[in-house]
Amino acid sequence: MDATRWLDEREDHAWRGYRRMRRLLDLELARELTQDAGLSEPDYDVLSDLSETPQGRLRLSELADTMLWSRSRLSHHLNRMQQRGLVTREECADDARGSIVVLTPAGRRAIESAAPGHVAAVRRHLIDLLTPAEVDALGALTHRVVDHLVDPGLRAARPQPAAEG
């Protein structure tokens, strides 16, 4: 049992910063989204993923996997969205167990009117505060962490500081 390697000052700074940003950024984006469009962030994400498909239709399990949600959570959330008329469910022809989530016209209007404001908020509170190099670093770093979480066997190594371009 060797001694714990605590976080040094820089590591601690990064870790605390990440957690504070996560909390405050989420709060602010959710606040603006609710105020401007009457949608929660989960609502927005569901509608957004649906609207990116050609037909505005997705198998429930496929949508859940894309969003990294449990089927249970998605099912509950769809009930609420369905009651508000944003989505409907249809039976799946191939698989009688399945159900297909369908964007309603109202749902499409909702996401289309919400998107510009939301993207602007993401820019204003995050993206436009970063240098291009930081945007790239954030993209690289987050995807490396995600890949490692999905498959720790990959031993997702730190890229070598030098070399490579």
Partner DNA sequence: GGCAGATCGATGACATGTCAACGAAAGCAC
Partner DNA sequence: GTGCTTTCGTTGACATGTCATCGATCTGCC
What is the binding site for a copy of itself (CB under 8 A)? 4-7, 10-11, 13-15, 17-18, 20-25, 28, 68, 115-116, 119-120, 122-123, 125-146, 148-150, 156, 158-159, 161
Q: If phi over 0 gives left and psi between -120 and 50 gives alpha, with beta otherwise, what is residue 128?
A: alpha
Q: Which is nearer to DNA, 35 or 131 (CB)?
A: 35
Interacting residues toward DNA by CB under 7 A: 27, 40, 42, 59-61, 64, 69-80, 89, 92, 95-99
Looking at beta carbons, which pairs linking 117-122 to residues 24 or more positions away fall under 8 Å? 117/32, 117/33, 117/36, 117/37, 118/29, 118/32, 118/33, 118/36, 118/37, 118/44, 121/28, 121/29, 121/32, 121/33, 122/29
Q: How far is the CB of 162 from DNA (least distance, A)?
A: 40
Q: How far is the CB of 60 from a copy of itself (least distance, A)?
A: 19
Q: Which is nearer to DNA, 12 or 95 (CB)?
A: 95
Q: Which is nearer to a copy of itself, 96 or 133 (CB)?
A: 133
Place of tokens 């605590």: 6
